[in-house]
Amino acid sequence: MWAVTIADWRFPNKKSGATHTVNGKTQDPIEYVKSVTNGYGAMSIIDTVGNKGSIGQAMAMAHAGGKLSVLGFGHLYEPVDAPYSDALFRNLTIHTGVVNVAAYMRTLLPLVESEQIDPSVIFTDTLPLAEAKKGYDLMMSRTAGTVKVALKP
């Protein structure tokens, strides 16, 4: 059984939970996951992109019997080309949905306030609250390298 946490190369911070990082622009992430798990694949994958290619990649990284959580919203804007028959025969469990913020806020907010968790590692941009629409546009297009935008009141 393998326990591997892999983060996007832009966020290799241990406080974000990263144990391994891979730059998908210079290295095949599927091959990388297979290499660090001796060919088995990961038992749990969280796809926070959710676009046409990422779901298929996440499925290819998973070990037979593994779990895939799809949290990204990209699939709402374009058709998903995912090999679901492969998922069926490999016994993958796929969970989708939006995070229930209210269910976790009371537990997580004190951890952020006490600096036990540092969510700032995921923010690539900070904008005033009045520019929220611009922030969402930047996250959607990703043309400026934007991943997540922090909005300051």
**Could you tell me the CA-to-CA distances from 52 to 28, 56, 76, 83, 116 in Å, in that order?**
16, 8, 10, 11, 35
Assess whether 22 and 52 both reside in one domain: yes
Task: Give per-residue pLDDT as tens, 107-146.
Answer: 888 988 998 877 777 788 999 999 999 998 988 887 777 8
CATH of the domain at 62: 3.40.50.720
- Domain span holding position 146: 102-152
* Domains identified in the chain, total number: 2
Q: Does the pTM exceed 0.85?
A: no
Q: Considering the chain, what is the average pLDDT of its residues? A: 79
Which domain-ending residue is among 60, 77, 96? Answer: 96
- Judge whether 1 lies within some domain: no
From CA 147, how far away is CA 122, in angstroms rounded? 7
Assess whether 143 and 108 both reside in one domain: yes
- Judge whether 47 lies within some domain: yes
- Judge whether 90 lies within some domain: yes
